[in-house]
Structure 1
């Protein structure tokens, strides 16, 4: 039986309607267009068979497989809709009126993220640091919310005004991007970012990014054992890491700020949207070979089709109010369908009909562009401006920076045709760490004596001394912080591959209890 054709839902001033996916791209008869301009809440069920929307008058539910209206509810003020995993409940949000089933007692929680997938559900919570104490992220499994001792994992760090937490598909680990509003070194207008890995089995690590600068995007592979980070001052680097936070492949540098894995995880798109020109690099990540380099200028949205073969890019309002429309591409770079909204209309949202895993089989990667009746979207390169006095003279080229090529980061065979030993790899890491420390020291010397920085592998920031007025309490707080600092160093050593002694492992296991004791002491301040 052939796989179904995914639908593309489109919402804008022209109303709400659906378009058949490849190869027809015609308006779907499975959904009758709602021409109202007040369609604000829309949602597909998890398997894509049901669709609900609120048009400012009613909430309607249709079966798009049978093209049948199932229900209509008098809920005109609904602003959010969500189907249950088994499609038998539709949650509508107007104002909070639910009964609390369970509660996590943790003071000062500022953010949380629920894990995807089947139960048991896990939750990652973030508590920002205060009064010199570090920020931390803890993982819990519902409904075991008994306190720090019941946490699955804990990761503390400094330099964090806010965090972004991202679960992998199997809910076995969380990536945490910690951000500060201001970079105290003055190197970046956008503040500072660090990337942390927290495993549901208790392990954690700092992901070492070899280029300074912002972290633009982090994406988990659907296989849940690799992730890609896009980071560094432009031109940005992109690197794939494994669950040990070791680099697997480096894509070099380029104009990119986003990463998108295909639903099957076999293709990765690196893209430069927003203030960049829309360049995309499509990579086969099983063989790490470049497939195509299409350009989607002025795009504000990107999404993979559930079939793993096609993508949609769109220009939507209010981000951009002119030239609204969307394009459907094959990943080999061919534009298969293009729609431009009339100049007096706007498009607000496009999104694919979802499907359950396994509906679409993974297909072999193609490198030859598929046929298309539409012209390619690659623009002609702009010619650099040359003043009149130089226009009849030979062109000389100069670069502001040297581009870095892609490279495999897995251990390579040496001159003796034998893999590097663990000792050789360890020495190589030490050498790289010393080199980075020298460069950092050199940079600090240029900044002058007024700025002092702690080593990167020590605690992430210098903390001002805090006094409570009680010398005994101050002494306890100081000792607790000293122990937590030692634990952090042990965890980083373990992440780097060092085999810990039994007593060192026992120290790490006491981290949650020490954090709770520190929290209780400081709350009493």
Structure 2
């Protein structure tokens, strides 16, 4: 039996736990939950401690009994985070200035949770990248200050242990390692100058020559760092806000491989387009990338940056490798119709696939055998809740939660144990959410509403046939007697014109003779061709309508001439031509 992995649920009413597999939905933990407005929460990476912000305080509880070990008064608290093992807690308050003294107060506080002691408070104006960074063994803490990175001994923040100063420094990344520690520094492109990434061993970064690896590139505004589990290599995903080639709305991406051995390689892909997602395998020897224009590809690379396996293509923009390292979830979420596939990495075989509409959050369970998808507010305000899926693709549990803000498995690294992947789907349940209709969209004007123009398409079949061939019109409906009479007149006039053209015109001459002027009370209407006259009635209202109809008939005549010359007309132009008989009927009624 798979060990339980509790689910943390945060919604508009508070925060509480629920069991994962196998006791889905129930709560066998000792956490009583909290009722009230919760701004946010944090969980230590090892799942040992849990904190949330509510009522102007930061509340902290500890596993396994989940008893409260303290509450910190922070009326302006907005963010909270733990160090990897939960020994230290950082709280970020809204940055404000004292109105009387016009001075700001320190708004980033770091606590020693075990000793229940405030270690130090810092000034941190921006909420972006406010979190301090710790190594996995919690020996070092680091934070970014303008053009500088300050390193501290994690249990003593009174003095700066090491400092790195770089002009135009934008970001850094401290490796989450337990023994030897490494750090990357990033300087973006400015005024045409190249961007740089430097990889150093801590604390040997005082001299530039001590860098283990360097990489420079152009047109880069930001980077994301992806360390492997052993912290011997780091993937650098670069981003540019503007793609000057115009190939992508989301900017231009590149992926680089840096290692402590000195490698600095750009990964080349078999398909052009964005790099949507990157993920390391837990063994630290291979990594995945989902890339390219849709349908995007998923490829597995080794540390030589060589493609060693392909995992199909499709509408995908996300990849997550389970903690056991034997299954990869490859899916499409966000602006792509939500669907995911499960792949056996070792055998390069698809295990299962399924649809999961309206997904805003996806995460593996600590055991690696179950996957959670959630629909959270305010991204989506309908069908809020979470689902738990077996790796074979079957739905195991579904819970709806009003105004769900976040749902996540409680971390437990001890559950990430190897298991044999089975290709047989386990028994599941059906989702209670109705599947969206896959019927093709038909514009309202093409849905056959009553009173539509004569000859207009009235079914989906007719509309689609026009899409395939705009010139292919179906026979109009049965015409009225008056419309049939006008049609015969037009055909007779057309035949007469053709005969005159063959004989060289009137009198056998190949030029037009002057035509007698029309009486003041009549207007020539070449809607269906010369010879059709429109008589004005003397009634201003009727004459105005007659003139408007004449304009429409003139336009139809022009379209018919273009159609006859071989020009392909648009659907709306063909619809105009189809209204000719209706307009002639209206004209006849007005002339009575």
TM-score w.r.t. length of structure 2 = 0.62
Aligned to 2:390: 330
1:265 matched to which residue of 2?
325
For 2:13, the equivalent position in structure 1 comes to 14
The verdict on how the C-alpha distance between 1:149 and 1:336 changes in structure 2, with shifts beyond 3 A counting, is same
The C-alpha deviation readout for 1:347-378, integer Å capped at 9, x for no partner, is 1111111113x434211112222122445989
Alignment partner, residue 217 of structure 1: 277
Provide Cα deviations, 1:248-294, integer angstroms capped at 9, x if missing partner: 11223201111010011110011100111111011000110000011
Task: Assess if the C-alpha contact under 8 Å between 1:263 and 1:306 holds in 2.
Answer: yes
Is contact 1:175–1:197 with CA below 8 Å preserved after alignment? yes
CA distance in 1 between partners of 2:304 and 2:167 (Å): 31
Residue pairs, 1:31-430, within 5 angstroms: 31-37=31-37, 39-94=38-93, 95-96=107-108, 97-98=121-122, 99=158, 100-342=160-402, 346-356=403-413, 358-375=414-431, 379=435, 382-384=438-440, 391=461
- State the partner residue of 1:27: 27
CA distance in 2, matches of 1:213, 1:87: 40
Deviations 1:307-353 (A, max 9, x none): 111111011112112221111111111111111124xxx11111111
Partner secondary structure for residue 209 of structure 2 = helix
TM-superposition CA deviations, 1:119-162 (whole Å, max 9, x none): 33322111113344321111122222203112221111122122
In 1, are the aligned partners of 2:301 and 2:307 still within 8 Å (CA)?
A: yes
Compared with structure 1, are the counterparts of its residues 336 and 289 closer, same or farther at alpha carbon in structure 2 (3 Å cutoff)? Answer: same
- Using the TM superposition, give the Cα deviation of residue 184 of structure 1 relative to its aligned residue in structure 2, in angstroms: 2.0
How many residues align structurally?
Answer: 391
User: Per residue, is there more strand in 1 or in 2?
Assistant: 2
What SS does the aligned partner of 2:35 have? coil
After TM superposition, the score normalised by the length of structure 1 is 0.69
CA–CA distance in 2 between the matches of 1:81 and 1:219? 26
Structure with more contact order per residue of length (Cα contacts < 8 Å, sep ≥ 6): 1
Name the CA shift for 1:130/1:68 in 2 (closer, same or farther; >3 Å): closer
Q: What's the secondary structure of 2:407's corresponding residue?
A: strand
Flag the 1:370–1:150 CA change in 2: closer, same or farther, 3 A. same
1-structure distance, mates of 2:263, 2:92: 37
1:515 paired residue number: none
CA RMSD in angstroms, aligned pairs only: 2.6
Please give the alpha-carbon distance, in whole angstroms, between the structure 1 residues aligned to 2:326 and 2:77. 38
1:68-108 Cα offsets, whole Å, 9 max, x none, are 22222333433333334444433333314344332111111
User: Runs of 5+ in structure 1 lacking a partner?
Assistant: 399-525
What does 1:466-477 align with in structure 2 at a 5 Å threshold? Answer: none
Q: 1:40 touches 1:55 (CA, 8 Å); kept in 2?
A: yes
Tell me the distance in 1 between the aligned counterparts of 2:464 and 2:219. Answer: 51
- Following the alignment from structure 2 to structure 1, what is the Cα–Cα distance between the partners of residues 434 and 266? 39
**Structure 2: runs of 5 or more not aligned:** 94-106, 109-120, 123-157, 443-456, 469-592
Name the SS for the 2:246 alignment partner: coil
Structure 1: distance between partners of 2:39 and 2:278: 29
Q: Which has the larger radius of gyration?
A: 2
Residue 299 of structure 1 aligns to a residue in which SS?
coil
User: Structure 2 CA distance, aligned partners of 1:227 and 1:219?
Assistant: 6
Aligned partner of residue 165 in structure 2, secondary structure: coil
**CA distance 1:287–1:381, change in 2 (3 Å):** farther
- Distance in 2 (CA, whole Å) between partners of 1:306 and 1:312 is 11
Over 3 Å counting, the alpha-carbon distance change for 1:332 and 1:388 in structure 2 is: farther
CA distance in 1, matches of 2:11, 2:277: 28
